Amino acid sequence: MNEPWVTDRVYVKYTLWFVYACIIYSIIGFTWGALMGGIAEFRHFVDHRMHGNLIVRAHTHINLLGWVEMAIFAAVYYIIPRLVRRPIFSIKLVKAHFWIHNVGLIGMVVLFTKAGVDGGVASAHMTPDQVEMIVRPTLAMMGMFGTLVLLANFIWAYNLFRTCAGWNKNG
């Protein structure tokens, strides 16, 4: 029986990289949340300035798509080959999934934060329409990075489907 968790060092490395990414994103997300909750000026900016809530969205995405999803990806990459008793369909797709997801997530978080800060600062001395004009291009770029995350999730789903399809033909 081919046991990739024993013989395939790249498979093990990337599965662990998903775990490491999960740990890093969780520390960032937990710290970010504590700062938003614990610093009154920060909390006020986020809660009361136009587009300040985008900073909360950045925090939410780093927790959900970083901490939680990375943990799920690592667990599923660990469990599925053992469950179906075969190696993952494509380690190249695992690598692509990892890098595309991380680039997309980091881009989303940075741009959500930038839009929130820019919008919040501008709202102190500009009209809502003017603020919207400042924030709109940043959010459009953020959407492009969000599309990368979506693509990475499709890659993950396809790779798992191909790994699992026909599992009972192995004996």
Helices (H), 39-169: 40-48, 53-61, 69-84, 91-122, 128-164
Say whether 49 sits in a helix, a strand or coil: coil
| Domain span at 114 | 4-170
pLDDT, tens digit, 9 for 90 and up, residues 94-127: 999 999 999 999 999 999 999 999 999 999 999 9
Looking up residue 148, the CATH number of its domain turns out to be 1.20.120
Distance CA(88)–CA(4), nearest Å, equals 8
pLDDT per residue as tens digits for the range 121-143: 999 999 999 999 999 999 999 99
Q: With 90 as the cut, is the pLDDT of residue 13 above it?
A: yes
Q: How many domains does the chain have?
A: 1
Predicted confidence (pLDDT) at residue 38 exceeds the cutoff of 70: yes
